[in-house]
Amino acid sequence: MKQIFKSISGLKSMFTLFLGRFLPLALFTLLAGGAIFLLERSSHLDLLYKFGKIQSIDERSPLTIALQQHQLVTISAVTLLALLIAAPIAWMRALKQRNDLIVEHQNRENLRSIKLLLDSTIEGIYGTDEEGRCILANRSCARLLGYSAPELLLGKNMHQLMHHSHADGTAYPETECRAHRLITTGVAPALVTDEVFWRQDGSAFPVSYSVHPIQEQDRIIGMVCTFVDISERRQLEDQLRHAQKMEAAGQLAGGIAHDFNNILQIISGNTQILQYDLKQTNPDPPQLLEILKAVERGTALTRSMLAFSRKQTINSIPLELNQLVKDSQLLAQKLLQKNTTLQLDLAETALIITADEVLLQQVLFNLITNARDAMPTGGTITIATAERLLDEQSTGGAKDRVPGTYAVLMVQDTGQGIPEEIRQKIFEPFFTTKEVGKGTGLGLAMVYGTVKQHGGFVQVESKAGLGSCFSVFLPAVAACLMPNRNGTPESIKDFSHGTNSPD
């Protein structure tokens, strides 16, 4: 049935085209026949009048009537013959027009399909002529380059528009461009991943691109380029390298810590035996006490190294994070100078986690100490808690950040922050910006390892001149609506990525 309706529709459109072609020809033929009839009648009447066959050209006589009838028959026959000839001509022209319209419609549909296909790809695609001017661009290309529509790129020199400089800002001449050289050399480069493209707003982004020649009769008349923004891939690669580096450092620190701890145990044991043997003649010799103090400092150092390597023994129990912070407030206050203020901004809901209370307090104290050292002239330290729900998007695809509900412990200071270039180093063991003898560089490494061992992660945010905020994310076991009566003097501010001064 659908095929029948389609055939009827085709016949209607064909008949419409035929009438559009035939009617003008028929009208022209009829008008031409009428004109010829009038001209011939007038000519014949003039001749009859000149030779005296009639008294006037308006005379009605058998001769003029016979002449008129003869002319009508002749002209009608010629006109009918002309119409019979015009009809198939009109039909052929209508058929050709219909075929042309079908081909044009198919071409438009093909172009629309090709455009839809190109606009549906994630990759940016553009083509240029021999001069490097854009002749084709898809929607992704315009979006990646910061343009609202692909049509805005047409006719522009693409190298000068988005490939004019290297990543460091130095000029990238068109004659050296690997993509542009394809048109002159015919040699397409392999996949390029070490260059950048430039957006309309002047910002650059790393790309992976490949180019291929556009050929016509064995002659290169342009090239087509496909590219993708690899910023996210680079970020993930950097995170992977950093995680591998931290893992290697952790394994090294753990091995050293175990061996060092064994040495310390031998020193401590023998020192205590010697202290016992000398107790009768010289109670508590100062030299032995100094040895024992040094052993204690070394033991604390090995504990920090084991915490970073996540090889320490933990005794996890259910804890309420807000209560842990309040219980630690008095000891935390003793870590601060008189010109430093400590504030609490705790969540109104109870945050239940499973953690080692002693180790988690050590994490808090290390963060407070780090915040204190970032404000040598004093300031305000705010300890805050919150409940956060992280989904796939908010985790950023990081393998160490599992979607779910987290209890968040935040320590914010009002210091100056530190430059961006050392942000990736702050959790590395023995890395410190302090003077020699004033920091071991293990405080934040211990925080990193302990939080990792508890299944969480640490997020650092900072802005120059506005201080820093360390956020410890710990998996929440349960959270019930228990009002927290603690005051909330100030909310934690939002920061862009940055760091604080590592100890």
Fold classification of 317-478 is: Heat Shock Protein 90 (3.30.565)
**Cα 382 from Cα 489, distance rounded (Å):** 9
First-to-last C-alpha distance (Å) of the chain: 83
**Residue 424 has what DSSP assignment?**
G
How many Cα atoms sit within 13 Å of 458 on the Cβ side? 26
One-letter amino acid of 404: G
Q: Write the DSSP symbol of residue 441.
A: S
Exposed/middle/buried for 499, CB within 10 Å: 0-12, 13-18, 19+?
Answer: buried
- Residues 394 and 385: beta-carbon distance below 8 Å: no
Alpha-carbon distance of 467 to 397, in angstroms, equals 27
Structure tokens at 385: 């808690």
Q: What angle do CA 300, 302, 305 make, to 5 degrees?
A: 115
- The answer to whether 195 and 161 have CB atoms below 8 angstroms apart is no
What is the reported pTM? 0.49
Give the tokens for residue 92: 């052929």
At residue 9, the pLDDT reads 59
> What's the CATH number of domain 124-229, 3.30.450.20, 3.10.180.10, 3.40.50.300, 1.10.3720.10?
3.30.450.20
pLDDT at 438: 53
pLDDT at 402: 84
CA distance 60 to 502: 126
> How many contiguous H segments (helices) and E segments (strands) does the chain have?
10, 12
8 Å CB contact between 462 and 495: yes
**Residuewise pLDDT in 10s, the chain (503 residues):** 555 545 555 556 666 766 666 667 666 666 666 666 666 666 666 665 565 566 565 656 665 666 666 666 666 766 776 666 767 777 777 677 777 777 777 778 877 887 788 888 889 999 999 889 999 999 999 999 999 999 999 999 999 999 999 988 899 998 888 888 888 777 777 788 889 999 999 999 999 999 998 888 888 889 999 999 998 888 777 767 766 666 666 666 666 766 777 787 888 887 777 777 776 666 667 777 778 777 776 776 666 666 655 566 677 889 999 999 998 888 888 888 888 999 999 999 899 999 888 788 888 988 998 888 888 888 999 999 999 998 877 766 566 678 889 999 999 999 888 777 776 677 776 666 665 445 556 678 778 888 888 889 999 888 877 889 999 999 998 644 444 444 444 444 444 333 344 44
AA identity, residue 198: W
Q: Would you tell me the crossing angle of helices 443-453 and 357-373 to the nearest 10 degrees?
A: 150
- pLDDT (0 to 100) of residue 40: 65
- What is residue 315's predicted lDDT score, i.e. its pLDDT? 77
The secondary structure of 328-367 as a DSSP string is: HHHHHHHTS-TTEEEEEE--SS--EEEE-HHHHHHHHHHH
Backbone angles phi, psi at 225, to 5 degrees: -125, 135
Helix (H, G, I), strand (E, B) or coil at 105: helix
CA distances from 382 to 71, 246, 335 (A): 115, 29, 14
